[in-house]
Amino acid sequence: MSRKKRRIYVCDACGYESPAWFGRCPSCGTWNSAISMSVDNHAIIETSKEVANIRSLSDIKVEDSHRLFTGLNEFDRALGGGVVPGSVVLVSGEPGIGKSTLMLQVAERMVSYGKVLYISGEESQRQIKLRARRLKLGKTENIEVSATTELDFLEKLDLKDYSLLIFDSLQTLRLSNVASLPGSFVQVRECANFVVSKAKESNVAAVIVGHVTKGGQIAGPKLVEHIVDTVLYFDTNKSGYRFLRTVKNRFGPSDEIAVFEMTSDGLAEVPDISDLFVKDFIVAPGNVITAVSEGSKTFLVEVQSLVSKPIYGTPRRLATGVPIDRVLLVAAVLSKRANIPLDNLDLYINIAGGIQVDDPGTDLAIALSLLSSFTNKAVPQGMAAFGEIGLDGTVRNVTGSSKRIDRLKESGFSEVLSPNGNIRIQNIADLVRFVGGMSDGS
């Protein structure tokens, strides 16, 4: 008996599905984006009749979970302690930031657990070999390379022979049974589902490299980020350091940060960044040191502010390295709760070193920096501040306060402004009184 198939039409731009052809997608408004796909109804019915494997949670036996260590301590920590067999990791970042370099370095270290399969749709086998030679990789005999965009061959491959699968990149891959071009919404979605299913079936870890959009977001449907186990995002700063941030992790903390530096021999780990961004600090109005906590790392950054009269009629608010919303919040609280006339002044905030910080603990440092610039009084040497500011003007504790204080003391800071520091700041009024007692820096 022949199987009955039904035909559906899927938007190649957003994934909208319809039983009838459409010229303009009702969801995203794209013209001529409908592609035809067939669905096997008989297969769906047969699958639905299968008895589900339902078991009591107490009856399920599991062995102690083990992780595979790459030897790149920063990368292992970003994953929560190493690679989990059967997990799928999505690594994304700007072009040229070092994603492929990192993948090849990880591949060399994973051969101690078994062969590594490196599937590249962007480079030829010769290009990958040249990159391995440039990185001076020694253990390459167990790294198998396939320069293809087709994923169908994985169906006939025994993946249990491998310790790691690397796909570089997701937007270049395709499945022959999906009537769409590589990089399209549908193709990316189906390829991601295919890779995840193969990794789970074979209990072999997989790493997928993903592109980013012009807006800095991970390209492709949001579904890809949902179905993978870990999402890592690569970004950089003006000093050339690479930051690997953990956005999602089912097997560990989701707020870790790993730091690398690009060298002639590839990505080198930077294990201690505690004082990396404050080594050029000078005492001047508007300059303040604060302690930032990201994952297991606690490091110091310099907040710089400039408060000046507007050149044009409308005051400007610019922020680099810190969300502009946090600056606007702190400025509004200073204006409302402490009667500091910042409403008609230009406000410029910068995090020195080009690093991006999104930590509510920087609120107090931003407020102190603005007041320091506004009054033209420099914060004394050896003084730092951290704390979260509420809309009512109170200064609140933040996570990792003790670690921040310890980090500041280790770096030679004797005076810490915070709700539980040696200079206790409980609200904005306390901060204004403290700044009022500082000496004039003019």
* Phi, psi (deg, nearest 5) at residue 164: -155, 140
Per DSSP, what are the bridge partners of residue 89?
Answer: 207, 230
Binned average pLDDT, 10 residues per bin, the chain of 442 residues: 69 83 89 79 51 79 80 94 95 93 96 96 95 92 95 93 95 89 87 95 95 78 90 85 93 90 92 88 96 90 96 91 95 95 95 90 97 96 96 95 94 94 94 90 46
Q: 402, 356, 137, 133: which is closest to 238 by C-alpha?
A: 356
Give me the half-sphere count of Cα atoms (radius 13 Å) on the Cβ side of residue 68.
Answer: 22
Cα 351 from Cα 356, distance rounded (Å): 7
CA 270 to chain centre: 17
Contact predicate 42/4, CB 8 Å: yes
DSSP 8-state symbol, 160: G
Q: Nearest 5°: CA angle at 383, between 380 and 384?
A: 135
Annotated binding site for ATP: 93-100
How is the beta sheet containing 5-11 ordered, strand by strand? 17-18, 5-11, 34-40
Helix (H) or strand (E) holding 395: strand 395-396
pTM of the model: 0.82
The per-residue pLDDT for 57 is 87
Cα distances (angstroms) measured from residue 214 to each of 75, 219, 324: 26, 9, 20
Annotated binding site: 93-100
Q: 292, 312, 287, 318: which is closest to 383 by C-alpha?
A: 287
The per-residue pLDDT for 294 is 86
Sign of the dihedral defined by the CA atoms of residues 368, 372, 377, 379, in that order: positive
The per-residue pLDDT for 217 is 76
pLDDT tens digits, residue range 40-52?
655 445 555 455 6
Amino acid identity at 151: L
The per-residue pLDDT for 1 is 47
Name the maximum alpha-carbon separation found in the chain.
92
Structural domains in the chain, sorted by start: 5-50 (no CATH), 73-269 (3.40.50.300), 287-436 (3.30.230.10)
Q: 102, 74, 340, 58: which is closest to 207 by C-alpha?
A: 102
Amino acid identity at 196: V
User: DSSP assignment of 139-172, as one string?
Assistant: --TTEEEE--SB-GGGGGS-GGGEEEEEEE-GGG
Q: What is the CA radius of gyration of the chain?
A: 27
CB atoms within 10 A of CB 18: 14
The strand pair at 162-168 and 423-424 is best described as unpaired
The strand pair at 162-168 and 205-210 is best described as parallel
The per-residue pLDDT for 50 is 53
The per-residue pLDDT for 442 is 41
Contact predicate 146/120, CB 8 Å: yes
Cβ-in-10-Å burial (0-12, 13-18, 19+) of 263 comes to exposed
Helix (H) or strand (E) holding 270: none
SS3 424: strand
Sign of the dihedral defined by the CA atoms of residues 116, 117, 123, 126, in that order: positive
Helix crossing, 99-110 with 125-134: angle to 10°?
80
The per-residue pLDDT for 51 is 55
Contact predicate 258/106, CB 8 Å: no
User: DSSP assignment of 190-249, as one string?
Assistant: HHHHHHHHHHHHHT-EEEEEE-B-TTSSBSS-HHHHHHSSEEEEEEE-TT-EEEEEEEEE
User: DSSP assignment of 369-397, as one string?
Assistant: HHHHHHHT-PPPTTEEE--EEPTTSBEE-
